[in-house]
Homo-oligomer: A and B are copies of this chain.
Amino acid sequence: MKCPRTQYGHGFFEGCALSFETGQRDVLGRIGVFETKSGKLETPALLPVVNPLAQEIPPRVMFEKLGSKALITNAYLIRRRAGDTGVDDIHDFLDFPGIVATDSGAYQMLRYGEVEVGSAEIIDYQQSIRTDIGVILDVPTGSRASRTRAMETVNETIRRADEARKVIKNRDIAWVGPIQGGLYPDLVAYSAREMAKRGFDIYALGSPTEVMEQYLFADLVDMILAAKMNLPFSTPLHLFGAGHPFMFSLAVALGCDLFDSAAYILYARRGRYLTQAGTLHLGQMEYFPCKCDTCASTSPDKVRSLPIAERTRLLAEHNLLACFQEIETIKESIVEGRLWELVEIRCRSHPRLLEAFQRTQKHRAEVACCAPSTKRKGILFFDSTSLQRPEYVMHLERLLGDYVPPREARVLVLAPVMTHRPGDESSDILVGMTKAGKGAHVCLYSPPYGLVPSELQDTFPFSQTETLEEPDPEILKVMAKAVQSYLAKNRTYRAVVLVRSDRGWHVRYAGMCKSVCTKLRVRFSSVTDKEISSGLTGIGRKGKRYLGKNTKGKPVKRRK
């Protein structure tokens, strides 16, 4: 797989004025600035979906009061109502001084079947109303399409993209290339590769609305990564129709830069109140768990007593602010290097979201390959769900791929890190052993790390990991697995001496390492930290037992 970090192709035309610059990164998320003819848009960004014909919140209020710098509306609906020449400038039409994106009617096609507009026509129309970001008329796959039908939508969208290239005149409009393929990740990947060849300014993953309505978040993970890994990282990725704010952070962590959402108003109309972790029903609420301008000055009781239009407007304002607040939370977490931690929290909002998060397990190598490998802050490591963290995956990859143990290493001394017992110096004593006995190689263990060469103990992420004192069984298994892979790769070790305390998980870990050694026919013994503190004799004796004359260079023969 070609690494998508490679910058291949950007912008519809050479010398295009549109630029996308990215700054701070975490996981696959990044903070970026996308330039449009109406100004700069900082990403990740949410574009509220605005009905061009009737708005509960006037676009100017969105801009001035709610801080919405961009919105998305529907060119197809405007044209159907106002005719070809009724609108001169979409910004004036909506009374919105920010950035306007227009959709082409593809969503209407998905919902209501064929639309009465041609592919070329709608591009022309978007140019004529001076949109900032335009979408070609793609064919959405949806979530119910057969594989054959899905392939058809992919191919037809590609055909229309080629057609669009001929019609597009305005070089100051950013054109969006939609990716189709629906629930078939291989088709999404193909669609992404083909669209990428055509050099759009923004790529957008289609069809998630239906997928999200059915809470198929795990499938969405596959879809997003299939697209992301086949698109240039230098171009923004838009997620069409992203719904509830509780999934924004996951989408950003997987590489989405832009969202549009009508959730704020759709939920408001049904009396629903959005929070970062879920949805509440105004009808049953007694407290507003929010300090936004709208909520701070009123109460659920008062809002319930308002006329329905006013009530919907207030709910919509809060809902939109809740979405924007989540975007700010995500941006700050990227700055802090804590995006993964945020996703771990948000995925506890619903079991389907946790399943989606677990699905990233399947993609951990791709994600780790493209994520920043160090950060200025430590990482918080919780339980087995944290095992997919890019920093951890990278650590294992480096340990089992690149790392070469000292040439003379014959006995692997595995010693625990004693972080929680101040004054306990046994690890330091052990580290000193590397010099003392030439054949001994001291490595440390500390959840979730099964083995870290002591000479690397101060490197990231090992020394910057905060975790539970008791690893769960899954983590313990992965730790022992690391020892197994390490010993299987580095066949020069003749023996393992494990130092342990009498804590429950130390004993279990020693047992697991013993099994690993038995399997690999490496000698194993363990000593307790008490034996160590009474003069290192235990380990000295046990270590020496395995160190004969044959300690220099020559690999040790062992039965296979």
Residues of chain A whose beta carbon lies under 8 Å from any beta carbon of chain B: 67, 277-278, 280, 284-293, 296, 321-322, 324-325, 328-329, 331-333, 335-336, 338, 341-342, 344-345, 348-351, 354-355, 358, 380-384, 466-470, 472-474
Which residues of B sit under 8 angstroms from A333, Cβ to Cβ? 289
CA of A328 to CA of B468, assembled, Å:
29
Which residues of B sit under 8 angstroms from A344, Cβ to Cβ? 348
CA of A384 to CA of B468, assembled, Å:
15
Partner of A351, one of B349, B358, B466: B466
Partner of A325, one of B290, B335, B336: B290
Q: Given known contacts A289-B325, A331-B287, is B350 in contact with A380 (CB within 8 Å)? A: yes
CA of A467 to CA of B348, assembled, Å:
11
7 example contacts (A-B, Cβ-Cβ < 8 A) are as follows A280-B336, A286-B335, A291-B292, A291-B321, A291-B325, A355-B469, A358-B468
Distance of A215 from chain B, by nearest CB (Å): 10
CA of A292 to CA of B468, assembled, Å:
33
Q: Are A332 and B280 in contact (CB under 8 A)?
A: yes
Q: Are A383 and B355 in contact (CB under 8 A)?
A: no
Tally of this chain's copies: 2
The CB with the most chain B CB atoms within 10 A, among A280, A287, A358, is that of: A287
Q: Are B380 and A328 in contact (CB under 8 A)?
A: no
Q: Are A332 and B468 in contact (CB under 8 A)?
A: no
User: Smallest CB-CB separation from A329: which chain B residue?
Assistant: B289
Distance of A347 from chain B, by nearest CB (Å): 9
A-B interface, 9 closest residue pairs, ranked by CB to CB distance from nearest: A289-B329, A291-B292, A287-B332, A287-B328, A345-B348, A287-B331, A289-B328, A289-B332, A286-B335
CA of A150 to CA of B137, assembled, Å:
75
CA of A398 to CA of B342, assembled, Å:
37
Q: Are A286 and B468 in contact (CB under 8 A)?
A: no
CA of A380 to CA of B466, assembled, Å:
27
Distance of A386 from chain B, by nearest CB (Å): 9
Q: Are A328 and B288 in contact (CB under 8 A)?
A: yes
CA of A254 to CA of B349, assembled, Å:
21
Q: Given known contacts A277-B345, A354-B468, A383-B354, is B287 in contact with A292 (CB within 8 Å)? A: no
Q: Are A349 and B355 in contact (CB under 8 A)?
A: no
CA of A189 to CA of B466, assembled, Å:
32
Q: Are A286 and B331 in contact (CB under 8 A)?
A: yes
Q: Are A382 and B287 in contact (CB under 8 A)?
A: no
CA of A322 to CA of B473, assembled, Å:
36
Which residues of B sit under 8 angstroms from A277, Cβ to Cβ? 341-342, 345
CA of A286 to CA of B33, assembled, Å:
15
Distance of A344 from chain B, by nearest CB (Å): 5
User: Smallest CB-CB separation from A467: which chain B residue?
Assistant: B351
Partner of A354, one of B278, B332, B382: B382
CA of A384 to CA of B475, assembled, Å:
14
CA of A284 to CA of B384, assembled, Å:
30
Distance of A155 from chain B, by nearest CB (Å): 31
Which residues of B sit under 8 angstroms from A284, Cβ to Cβ? 335-336
